[in-house]
Amino acid sequence: MTQDTDSIGVVNTEIVRLDLPEGGFKLDDGGCLSEIDVAYETYGTLSEAKDNVVYICHALTGNAHAAGRHEPPDPDEPDAWWNEMVGPGKGIDTNHYFVICANILGGCKGTTGPSSIAPETDSPYGSTFPNVSAGDIVNAHVLLLKQLGIERVAAAVGGSFGGMQVIEWVIRFPDTIDHGIVIAAAVCLSAQGIAFDIVGRAAITSDPDWKGGDYYDSGSAPTQGLALARRVGHITYLSREIMADKFGREKWRAGQSDSVPDSRIDKFHVETYLEHQGEKFSRRFDANSYLHITRAMDEYDVASQYGDLKTAFERVRSKVLIVAVSSDWLFPPEQSEELANALLTAGTRVSYCLLNAPHGHDAFLVDVEYLSEVIRAFLPWVGPRPDSRRIGLKGGEENVDRVKRRDLHKISQLIEPGSRVLDLGCGNGELLTRLAETSGVQGVGVDIDIHHVIRVIERGHDIFQADIDSGLSMIPDGAYDYAILSETLQAVRKPHLVLNEMLRVADQGIVSFPNLGYWRNRLRLSMFGRMPTTSLDAKPWYETDNIHPFTYRDFIGLCRQDNIKILDTVCLTSGLLGRIFVATGLSNLGADLVLIRVAKE
Amino acid sequence: MTQDTDSIGVVNTEIVRLDLPEGGFKLDDGGCLSEIDVAYETYGTLSEAKDNVVYICHALTGNAHAAGRHEPPDPDEPDAWWNEMVGPGKGIDTNHYFVICANILGGCKGTTGPSSIAPETDSPYGSTFPNVSAGDIVNAHVLLLKQLGIERVAAAVGGSFGGMQVIEWVIRFPDTIDHGIVIAAAVCLSAQGIAFDIVGRAAITSDPDWKGGDYYDSGSAPTQGLALARRVGHITYLSREIMADKFGREKWRAGQSDSVPDSRIDKFHVETYLEHQGEKFSRRFDANSYLHITRAMDEYDVASQYGDLKTAFERVRSKVLIVAVSSDWLFPPEQSEELANALLTAGTRVSYCLLNAPHGHDAFLVDVEYLSEVIRAFLPWVGPRPDSRRIGLKGGEENVDRVKRRDLHKISQLIEPGSRVLDLGCGNGELLTRLAETSGVQGVGVDIDIHHVIRVIERGHDIFQADIDSGLSMIPDGAYDYAILSETLQAVRKPHLVLNEMLRVADQGIVSFPNLGYWRNRLRLSMFGRMPTTSLDAKPWYETDNIHPFTYRDFIGLCRQDNIKILDTVCLTSGLLGRIFVATGLSNLGADLVLIRVAKE
């Protein structure tokens, strides 16, 4: 995917001392820093209007080196951590955007942290380094931007703890950010996630070399504890499946390899891998930074910080994209859904996307094919947009654009201009685009297919990737004027539930469905003794998606039973006979597609 | 559930020195022990025929004290670990069974382990204690039985590492065990599970107090490392959901409680909980035992030990019950399925059951309501069985016995006596019982409903708890003479897949289905314009389980297309008109239920 694009080339890290306000940099937890250096890198070119800035917030143990290469390379970290995503023609396209990534406050990669020299004492902070929060970290990001002469970013993007920084950014500095992209993150870490961090921190603080945090001048460092903490962390970044694939139960036999630590005894591959990861990490990272940053992550909690999620998210002015990874168990999809739900409830423009990837939490670093597409589709393109920028989704375009629904025109006629519309099973967003163009409607889609999701986002609409059958719990009561089920109700597993959910989240529903009562269908069963499917879809009975076929009359019956009012009915048909039936009032016989506008009594 | 039953009362642990063979107790790994003490407890009364023995294999850090209470109680472990399961009237009923539980070899609760005195040196084994395997542990169990004058157990049961012991037992000593019950275990630990153990062991061995394993006379022990290992382990025993429920993000505020370790600083509840667990554990358990036993668990691998799973399981003579826990991520259900699959492939009589419990791996200790029922149903009852022994499944009986299928009699007529039968969607096992009684058929059922599973096991049949729609991958090709889909095909999501899977696993298929082409159904659609469902089931179109209705003719069409041969057809009908249609050859009009025997061309 990156073969035909240019590499980003050599980029070295810059360090800048922030201009701090009078009295220093006040921290959320009450502390203060009188001096802050920030290490950062930039890729691409800042536009004259300064409207093409994409800011990358790195995760727990990342650094400013998101892309390109250092000259000379760092032997412990030869590769930039997000080269797959950032570069010419990539998901975050450096031909178009000016990309910034800075090491976070409290880190150990050039930005002020516990291992930095405290100006007050002229020796390393060590145990005296104050607690920093996710908010402090974002505050430093915004100060860096200011120093670079930038008032506003087109987008900030981050995965894991980086995603938490983006969440905090859109809340705390709403006027500095247009788009927020939150990947594999949440409004707080789960109890299980905290538990793993607790174990990791305990491993460090029980290492005799930690010395209460003041080890910098002692000639040794708590590398054993830090390595142990890293091993625990590393397990949580991978899914069980990928660990089984990668290592299984394979062993290094004693003496098999000189490169294996302690090669005198048999070891599982996973053992030597974790030992290697831990040992490498303890060479390149500072134990106190690990303590501070994991603590900042554990303590981050939007609800408790702002009172509740709604209060917090009502401050947001950005469009937000939430991306979850199916196999992530550190920040599981449920938590991303919770975040998306809360943003929606607060009235934010939000899209939610679930990537099907086996790698676990680390997928956002290593399995970027679909992630690149989603980010590319969501990022605001400044100036004329090339016709087709998408790569790596072979066949996707045909797939999503094939479906042409003949009820779309009729549906758009039933909708009042300027209303709030939810399109359930929105497909590639054709109806949403039509409504936006003809009625100025800002609609939201729901669909399960990732190709549809990418296309709808690219068209500029908001979308929730979800299975309608699981209910619409992410959508608050009465959030929409209209909810639409276009040729979808007969294909869901629980039509009754879906119909009622539809009228919970919207004042009115518009339902279109193929009519099993259409004369050709009746003929097929009564005369030919076959299940009528051909007029419903192209698939035979044993493969049809239409698992709950019903007639116009059946639908009326259900509406009566559930006290659902019928406001409008449109009967679509074809052929002379169908038209005659409809004209003479025999709609259940004549209509092959029925479109009904409904509301609760 | 236990209120109306008597407690088991005071039971104290006995210690016995095993009569070892000449040359001592040879270990799998090459070592040898010249002396072995075993600590054990028994509950209930041994029958004269000695045919009521249930042997409990405990998990990693358990002990012989499975039930009852010690007098005086141990302050660090006041409760027996499986009191919920073992006792009068409980899942393992001590009114009926003679129950034995022994501390495992390598442990530290009375059975010989690293902290025991080595007879050769008259000082603790420490670093000289040899590696023990799961097989060695089972070997000790069987020697203990011999010493107690028992040749054979009616059943052995174990969860987690205890389940691995049961697996090893049915393979290694097939003639000493009638029933094996394996709960939340697998033929080997996953790479992820090994990784967690590796971290735990590294925490112990990097504790300066470990001293290479020879710490017993040093005045201190590696309690800090052991406590850290326990914290890691404890996280893996709970599901993310239960941790969120139990702890959430709640905190102890500084000074809030004297009972909190280091109450000067704020701590998450989960932090104090894990600290408490770790600290308590490090008081009651020996670090070297933890190293040895986790190593035995990590190393256990049936396939590598016996060449492959099939070779291993062909030795098995017992009936085996596999139980998985839905939220267990240490021994996930996929691994239990793999085990059940391998046993089935080797020709073992096996049942598989998936408990829906939120507690994670520990569910087998704490959430025993359904587990008790499954075990009770599976254990062989000696002598006349009380009419209804089941408790805690209120309403279950009515539920499972309600369905009376009128095609059962016809199906049983189509099946050759003595053949191997698989009943897909077997319900409460009515057909299986009928086949066993009338044709001497030992059938196997597949069903998704736990109430059905319990009932079928209780009836003495084997059953796989599975969703037919996910395919029958657990069943080898051609394993059965007949597979039966009684009134099920129209209710699956993928009828085509299911039909083909059926004819992969069996030579012949017997399919019965409601005929959509029945004249009443045709009339309902053609004359009344309503989806015909009433003759298919009692539910309306929007709730019907029959999501792929089809006609007799539709089915014939699919068979032709897929080269499926029709061997027999039985048309069931009711009413005069139906009978006339069938008699005059208009079966698709006359039959309301069709039964067809098919085979691949």
Facing residue for A203 by CB, picked from B203, B298, B589: B203
pLDDT tens-digit profile of B289-324?
A: 999 999 999 999 999 999 999 999 999 999 999 999
Quote the CA–CA distance of B484 and B479 in Å, as a whole number.
13
- How close does chain B come to A188, measured CA to CA in Å? 9
Contact A271 B198 (CB under 8 A): yes
- Separation in Å, CA A91 to CA A58, A159, A256, A396: 16, 14, 42, 17
User: What's the average model confidence in pLDDT over B334-346?
Assistant: 94
What integer pLDDT is reported at residue B398 of this predicted model?
A: 40
Q: How close is the nearest chain A Cα to the Cα of B408, in Å? A: 25
- Amino acid (one-letter) located at B283: R
**Neighbouring C-alpha atoms within 13 Å toward the C-beta of A449:** 16
| H helices present in B206-322, as ranges | 223-237, 240-246, 269-284, 287-299, 302-306, 309-313
Active site residues of A: 160, 328, 361
Q: Which of B304, B499, B550 lies closest to A541 in CB terms?
A: B550
Q: How many residues are there in chain B?
A: 601
Contact A270 B195 (CB under 8 A): yes
Q: What is the dihedral of CA B590, B596, B600, B601, to 10 degrees?
A: -50
- Binning pLDDT at 50, 70 and 90, where does residue A175 land? very high
> B521, A522: Cβ pair inside 8 Å?
no
**Tens of pLDDT, residues A299-310:** 999 999 999 999
Q: Which residue has the tokens 């395997």?
A: B133
C-alpha B301/C-alpha B318 separation (Å) is 20
Rg (CA), chain A: 28
Q: How confident is the model at residue A388 (pLDDT cuts 50, 70, 90)?
A: very low
Would you say B386 and B465 are in contact if contact means Cβ atoms under 8 Å apart? no
Residue with tokens 């109450």: B263
How far is CA B497 from each of CA A237, B334, B477, B484, B600, rounded to the nearest angstrom? 36, 21, 15, 15, 14
pLDDT at residue B601, as a whole number:
85
Residue bearing tokens 């089941």? B390
Q: Work out the average pLDDT over A163-189.
A: 98
Whether B249 sits inside 8 A of A192 (CB atoms) is no
> Nearest Cβ partner of A240 from B190, B551, B589?
B190
Q: How far is CA B301 from CA A40, B133, B191, B196, B343, in A?
A: 49, 10, 12, 17, 15
pLDDT at A384: 66
Residues of B assigned a catalytic role = 160, 328, 361
d(CA B254, CA B251): 9
Measured between CA atoms, the residue of chain A closest to residue B274 is: A195
Q: Which residues of B are less than 8 Å from A544 in CB distance?
A: 548
pLDDT score recorded for residue A535: 60
Q: What is the mean pLDDT of residues B140-147?
A: 98
Torsion over CA: A353, A357, A361, A363 (sign): negative
**Residues from chain B contacting residue A542 (CB–CB below 8 Å):** 494-496, 499, 548, 550, 558
> Span B360-387, mean pLDDT?
88
For residue B534, pLDDT over 90 is answered with no
**Pairing of the two strands A462-465 and A444-447:** parallel
Domains and their CATH numbers in chain A: 14-378 (3.40.50.1820), 403-600 (3.40.50.150)
Mean pLDDT on B537-563: 92
B86-87 and B25-26 strand pairing: unpaired
- Burial class from Cβ neighbours inside 10 Å (0-12, 13-18, 19+) for residue B251 reads middle
Minimal Cβ distance to A243: which of B195, B522, B589: B195
Query: Cα separation of B590 and B573, whole Å?
Result: 7
Residue-wise pLDDT for A214-234, tens only, equals 999 999 999 999 999 999 999
Q: Are B110 and B83 in contact (CB under 8 A)?
A: no
Residue of B70, B137, B64, B136 lying closest to B101 (CA atoms): B64
Q: CB neighbours of A21 closer than 8 A, spacing ≥ 6?
A: none
| pLDDT of A396 | 42
CA–chain centroid gap for A557, Å, is 41
Q: Which residues contact A90 (CB under 8 A, 6 or more apart)?
A: A2, A5, A84, A372
Spatial separation of the C-alpha atoms in residues A330 and A59, rounded to whole Å: 13
Is the model's pLDDT at A393 over the cut of 50? Answer: no
Label residue B251 by pLDDT band (50, 70, 90): confident
Rounded-to-integer distance, Cα A249 and Cα B6, Å: 46
Q: How much is the ipTM here?
A: 0.91
pLDDT one-digit tens code per residue, A525-571: 999 999 987 566 778 999 999 999 999 999 999 999 999 999 999 99
pLDDT-derived band of residue B539, with 50, 70 and 90 as boundaries?
A: confident
- pLDDT at res. B409: 85
Which residues fall within 8 angstroms of residue A78, CB to CB, at 6 or more apart? none
Mean pLDDT, residues B319-347? 95
- What is the rounded average pLDDT of the residues B369-386? 87
Confidence (pLDDT) at A257:
60
Q: How many residues does chain A have?
A: 601
Buried b (16+ CB within 10 A) or exposed e, A248-274: ebebbeeeeeeebeebeeebbbbbbbb
| pLDDT score at A389 | 47
For position B4, what pLDDT does the model report?
A: 41
> Is residue B397 very low, low, confident or very high in pLDDT (cuts 50, 70, 90)?
very low
CA angle B114, B119, B124 (to 5 degrees): 35
Residue-level pLDDT at B360: 96
The whole-angstrom distance between A445's CA and the closest CA on chain B is 24
pTM: 0.93
Question: What does the pLDDT average to over A413-438?
Answer: 93
What's the confidence (pLDDT) of residue A321? 98
Own/partner contacts of A204-208, CB < 8 Å, gap of 24 or more, are A204/A228, A204/A229, A204/A287, A204/A290, A204/A291, A205/A291, A206/B207, A206/B224, A206/B228, A207/A287, A207/B206, A208/B208
Contact residues for B437 (Cβ-Cβ < 8 A; gap 6+): none
Structure confidence by residue, pLDDT tens digits, A342-374: 999 999 999 999 999 999 999 999 999 999 999
| Residues of chain A found within 8 Å of residue B542, distances taken between Cβ atoms | 494-496, 499, 548, 550, 558
Whole-number average pLDDT of chain B: 91
pLDDT tens-digit map of B64-120 = 999 999 988 888 788 899 999 999 999 999 999 999 999 999 999 999 999 999 999
Q: Rounded to a whole number, what is the distance in Å from the CA of A490 to chain B's nearest CA?
A: 9
Q: Apex CA B340: angle with CA B334 and CA B345, to 5°?
A: 125
B141 within 8 A of B115, measured Cβ to Cβ: no
Q: Which of A29-33, A409-413, B138-142 has the lowest mean pLDDT?
A: A409-413
**pLDDT at site B262:** 55
pLDDT, average across residues B19-36: 95
Nearest to B228 by CA among B250, B202, B209: B202
Q: Are A512 and A413 in contact (CB under 8 A)?
A: no
- The mean per-residue pLDDT over the stretch A63-74 comes to 92
> Strand, coil or helix: what is B418?
coil
Query: For the stretch A471-502, what's the b/e string if a residue is b when 16 or more beta carbons lie within 10 angstroms of its beta carbon?
Result: ebebbbeebbbbbbbbbbbbbbebbbbbbbbb
Partner-chain contact B528 A249, CB within 8 Å:
no
pLDDT for residue B400 is more than 80: no
Torsions phi, psi of A564, nearest 5?
Answer: -105, 130
pLDDT band at B439 (very low <50, low <70, confident <90, very high): confident
**Interface contact flag, A244 B589, Cβ < 8 Å:** no
Structure tokens at A31: 């502390």
Whether residues B194 and A231 touch (CB distance < 8 A) is answered with no
User: What's the gap between Cα A525 and its chain centre?
Assistant: 47
pLDDT of amino acid B472: 86
